[in-house]
Amino acid sequence: MTAEWVRTGRVWRFGDAVSIEAISPLRYMLSPQGRGRACLAQLDAAFAAAEKDGDLIVAGRMFGHGPGHDHAVLAIKEAGIAGVVATSFAPQFFRHAIGHGLLVARCPAQLHESFAGPGLRVDFLEGSAVDCGTGHRWGVDVPGGPARDIVAAGGLVPFLRNRLAAG
């Protein structure tokens, strides 16, 4: 297993209906250098300018809606984000997140609405989130079964390579 399931980091908060285009504008789709730097820049210029290694995103409903491209997930990973916690995800974004080994969890609306910061500790294996400032705890819904195995391997391609090598 390659996933580090428990992540503690600074939180970047975003609202409802964050689109794939807002996460990663299409003009950066083929440019890994630009994709990570431009990630979410149109919603928060500070996000684009900050060092984000190990940070987390907390968002509202329908995170990642829009065309079913995987470049938004790649942009988030290239920006250094450790995981995304959202009230709900667009189905195609959620599938691509699993396929690329990005840690994701669905959270109750109360987490998104009442999170006080400065950081959040998320256990993406057991399904819990703790506000590092207040100590408030929420249950979060994390992928299980084969999806968990794919994330643990680092994404679908490493998962399949491991399965094929095991014979």
Domain edges within the chain = 6-166
Percent of the chain with pLDDT over 90: 71
- pTM of the predicted structure, to 2 decimals: 0.92
Q: What's the pLDDT score for residue 1? A: 44
Rounded-to-integer distance, Cα 98 and Cα 146, Å: 10
Q: H helices within the chain, ranges in order?
A: 20-23, 32-38, 45-49, 71-78, 91-99, 109-114, 145-153, 156-166
Question: Average pLDDT of 27-44?
Answer: 78
Supply the pLDDT for residue 106: 97
CA–CA separation, 137 and 65 (whole Å) = 28
The tokens describing 31, both together, are 């440019």
Q: What CATH number matches the domain at 6-166, 1.10.150.20, 3.20.19.10, 3.40.50.720, 3.20.20.150?
A: 3.20.19.10
With cut-offs at 50, 70 and 90, classify the pLDDT of residue 88.
very high
pLDDT digits (tens, 9 = 90+) for 136-161: 999 999 999 999 999 999 999 999 99
